[in-house]
Structure 1
Amino acid sequence: MYKTIEETAVDLGMSEEQILRLVYEGRIRSVYDGQQVLINSGQFTTYFEQLERIKEEIDIWRSTPIPEDIDVKDED
């Protein structure tokens, strides 16, 4: 599904200027239909899947308790 710059900016939570800059840099693939720049929203599915996986890994990492160091000696 193709979306305009404005719609893509809302979906990604970024400003239109940032989206346009990423398009001009070639980091976001787009097509120009003669009137406006259109972006295929399917190219972001992998990004969102990876983002969710990373969030899950960070949650697991944060919930893992720190093991006690066996080299620590009580000097009291």
Structure 2
Amino acid sequence: MYKTVAETALDLGMPEEQIMRLVYEGRIRSVYDGEQILINNSQFSTYFQQLERIKEEIEIWRSTPIPEDIDVKDED
């Protein structure tokens, strides 16, 4: 499914200028149809999978209790 630069920027949560820069650098594959640049959304599936995995890892990290410090009980 092809989307415009504005729609892609909204989906990825990035500014349109950054998406255009990535297109010009060749880091995002795109097609120019004579009027606008179209981006195939399927190339971001790995990005979304990694983003979900990172969110899960952060949630696990936040829910892990802080262990008691060994040096808390000073003998002085």
| TM over 0.5, shorter chain | yes
Q: How does 1:1-76 map to 2 (within 5 A)?
A: 1-69=1-69, 74-76=74-76
Structure 1: gaps of 5 or more residues: none
* Post-superposition offset of 1:68: 3.6
Structure 2: gaps of 5 or more residues: none
TM-score (norm 2): 0.81
- Where has structure 1 moved over 2 Å in runs of 4 or more? 65-74
How many residue pairs were aligned?
A: 76
Report the more deviating stretch, 60-69 or 28-37.
Answer: 60-69
Alignment RMSD: 1.8
TM-score (norm 1): 0.81
